[in-house]
Amino acid sequence: MNTRRLSFGLLVTFAAAMLAACGDSTPEAQTPAASATPADTDAAPPATTATETATPPPPPPAPAPAPTPAKQKVVGSFVQDFSGDVADAAQADATKKAGKADKDGKKAAALVDKAKAAFTALNSSLVITADTLTWNLKGKPAHAISYTVSGSADDPTNLTVKLGKDATAKKDLKGQELAITFTDDSTFTFKDPFAKTNPKNLVWKKQ
């Protein structure tokens, strides 16, 4: 038997046995996992209930009440206020009397306080009904005048009245018109009907 031919045969057999034992070293391709669809991952939105869709709108705000006519607001008791033209005149008079020497204004302020005290002591007040106006000074009627409304009766700010006979004072303003202007529901003004010159606008506040 030929030794060279035997050795070659053994090598072939050995190589085949080794291949069978080790197997194919090439890794198998892996099939990728199926990706999740949006339908699988996203939760479905909640269904809208009938109550939510049928909610009625809020009711409209209630309309504002109609303003009160001036002819109604003027009825009542009022006290004259130290303000407006009266206070301005007192300040001007005090400044004039104090003079330029009153650098810090103390003298003028003291004079204004004195004028205000005299004004308060006068206790000027009005009692008004639907057709009479009584002007009291120091607690006593100085003028008791009847009147009629001659302007718009429904205006909330302005009221014009025609004065009648004065049952208390000698000077009668019968036939004279008095224009009353409300600055708010409890405050009105009118020019002093008894002033001879430069009548001041008087301020009255409801008591």
Q: Among 169, 193, 166, which residue's Cα sits nearest to residue 179?
A: 193
What lies within 8 Å, CB to CB, of 158 at 6+ separation is: 70, 151, 152, 179, 180, 181, 182
**The total number of structural domains that make up the chain:** 1
Q: Would you say residue 32 lies in a domain? A: no
Q: Would you say residue 4 lies in a domain? A: no
Q: Would you say residue 60 lies in a domain? A: no
d(CA 149, CA 66): 21
Which pLDDT belongs to residue 4? 47
Q: Among 193, 199, 86, 198, which residue's Cα sits nearest to residue 147?
A: 193
Residue 179, φ and ψ in degrees, nearest 5: -95, 120
pTM: 0.70
Q: Would you say residue 42 lies in a domain? A: no
Structure token digits, residue 101? 């020497």
pLDDT more than 90, % of the chain: 63
Q: Would you say residue 89 lies in a domain? A: yes
Q: Would you say residue 118 lies in a domain? A: yes
* Domain hosting residue 200, numbered range: 70-206
Q: Would you say residue 194 lies in a domain? A: yes
Taking only the tens of pLDDT, the chain with its 207 residues reads: 444 444 444 444 554 545 444 455 454 555 555 554 545 555 565 665 555 567 888 888 888 888 999 999 999 999 999 999 999 999 999 999 999 999 999 999 999 999 999 999 999 999 999 999 999 999 999 999 999 998 777 899 999 999 999 999 887 899 999 999 999 999 999 999 999 899 999 999 999
